[in-house]
């Protein structure tokens, strides 16, 4: 049997071997990869946590550790040892950290500042008011940017969440590698995977965006295989309102919701100031939290979204290279 590391990194290589892992026609390649993935998958957040001395300039060892975590679970939890209190310095460091790991094409999201970073906090008024990311309400399982799919090369492939202020109570995030969701569905019924790979599997109807501009209907698959690398991406939301499912995908969507609700490998974390997660847009949720309006402004999370995958173009050393 090939080494576990070789099997886990296969899908990050050119299409030659990667695409076969997620091809329903190649059960042998899938089973080998699946068994290695589950055997190596971390059971606790600390197995994916890396301490970073300087967020703006990770060391070679820190870089290898972050990339190794992302190869195991498509995500890495980091802890910045020197937390920057200055907002401008924090944002500069965060942008540098993202670019260091190959996330150079930030989404030009309507709520993002000029540096591509979105501040997620309670909005009492203005265009963000009432939109769930800017409230203290819980958010169900989803991947970011599911409503802005424009093909496998123009979808949100990675994201980064960085905690500036945490809530006194609540605000924890759940994290599930989307490859685990794929495994659970394929093991239960391969037809579910086929249905969720349909190009019209999930639709978000046309609506009015927060800035008042119309947003066109957005339709696409749930599971997406990257045509350049063969890596698996995902576009999903568990929300019920304003989501349409292709007739062939209804049963698969119900099965996915059920499996996510009972996933033993889901990780639950509460980010403290200076903590963050960098990931290949894995499934995540958020529990509700105390508003803390009288406590220094309440919970504040900086978010970066990118059309790149972690490590794809960063020029950083491979996780198994020497120092």
Residue pLDDT, tens place only, 259-316: 999 999 999 999 999 999 999 999 999 999 998 765 556 899 999 999 999 987 543 3
Taking residues 18-23, what's their average pLDDT?
75
Higher-scoring residue by pLDDT: 128, 61: 61
Q: What is the pLDDT of residues 37-58, one digit of tens each?
A: 999 999 999 999 999 999 999 9
Alpha helices (runs of H) in the chain, residue ranges in sequence order: 4-9, 15-21, 27-40, 60-73, 87-100, 178-188, 190-196, 250-261
Taking residues 160-165, what's their average pLDDT?
96
Among residues 30, 26, 65, 61, which one has the least CA distance to residue 46?
65
Residue 17 in this model has a pLDDT that exceeds 80: no
For the chain, which residues make up each domain, given as ranges? 47-306
Q: What is the pLDDT of residue 211?
A: 53
Q: For residue 193, name the pLDDT band (cuts at 50, 70, 90).
A: very high
Beta carbons of 303 and 160 less than 8 angstroms apart: yes
Cα dihedral: 262, 268, 100, 225 (round 10): 10
β-pairing verdict for 75-80 and 49-52: parallel
Would you identify the CATH topology of the domain 47-306?
Double-stranded beta-helix (3.60.130)
Q: What is the pLDDT of residue 18?
A: 55
Taking residues 175-183, what's their average pLDDT?
98
Q: What is the pLDDT of residue 129?
A: 53
Q: What is the pLDDT of residue 3?
A: 37
Give the distance from CA 185 to its chain's centroid.
19
Among residues 71, 27, 106, which one has the least CA distance to residue 229?
71
Q: What is the pLDDT of residues 67-114, one digit of tens each?
A: 999 999 999 999 997 766 688 899 999 999 999 999 999 987 665 567
C-alpha distances in Å from residue 296, one per residue of 162, 166, 240, 292: 17, 10, 34, 8
Beta carbons of 75 and 284 less than 8 angstroms apart: no
Give the DSSP per-residue string, 207-232. EE-TTS-EE--EEE-SEEE-TTT--E
Q: What is the pLDDT of residues 119-132, one digit of tens each?
A: 998 876 555 655 78
Its pTM stands at 0.88
In sign, the C-alpha dihedral spanning 272, 274, 275, 281 is positive
Q: What is the pLDDT of residue 111?
A: 56
Beta carbons of 94 and 103 less than 8 angstroms apart: no
């Amino acid at each position: 049997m090939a080494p576990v590391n070789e099997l886990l990194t296969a899908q990050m290589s050119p299409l030659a071997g990667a695409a076969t892992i997620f091809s329903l026609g190649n059960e042998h390649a899938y089973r080998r990869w699946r068994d290695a993935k589950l055997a190596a998958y971390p059971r606790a957040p600390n197995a994916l946590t890396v301490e970073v001395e300087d967020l703006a300039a990770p060391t070679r060892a820190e870089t290898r550790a972050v990339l190794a975590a992302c190869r195991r679970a498509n995500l890495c939890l980091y802890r910045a040892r020197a937390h920057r209190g200055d907002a401008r310095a924090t944002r500069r460091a965060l942008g540098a950290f993202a670019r260091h790991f190959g996330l150079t094409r930030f989404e030009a999201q309507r709520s993002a500042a000029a540096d591509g970073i979105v501040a997620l906090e309670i909005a009492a008024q203005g265009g963000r008011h009432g939109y769930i990311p800017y409230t203290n309400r819980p958010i169900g399982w989803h991947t970011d940017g599911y409503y802005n799919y424009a093909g496998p090369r123009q979808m949100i492939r990675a994201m980064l969440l960085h905690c500036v202020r945490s809530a006194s109570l609540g605000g924890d995030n759940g994290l599930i590698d989307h490859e685990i969701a794929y495994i659970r569905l394929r093991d239960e019924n391969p037809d579910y995977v086929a249905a969720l790979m349909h190009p019209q599997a999930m639709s978000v109807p046309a609506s009015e965006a927060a800035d008042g501009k119309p947003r066109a209907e957005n339709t696409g698959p749930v599971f997406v295989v990257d045509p350049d690398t063969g890596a698996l991406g995902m576009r999903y939301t568990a929300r019920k309102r304003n989501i349409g499912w292709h007739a062939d995908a209804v049963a698969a969507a119900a099965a996915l919701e059920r499996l996510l609700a009972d996933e033993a490998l889901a990780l639950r974390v509460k980010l403290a100031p200076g903590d963050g997660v960098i990931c290949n847009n894995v499934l995540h949720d958020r529990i509700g939290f105390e508003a803390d309006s009288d406590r220094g402004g309440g919970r504040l999370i900086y978010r970066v979204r990118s059309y790149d995958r972690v490590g794809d173009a960063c020029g950083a050393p491979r996780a198994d290279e020497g120092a």
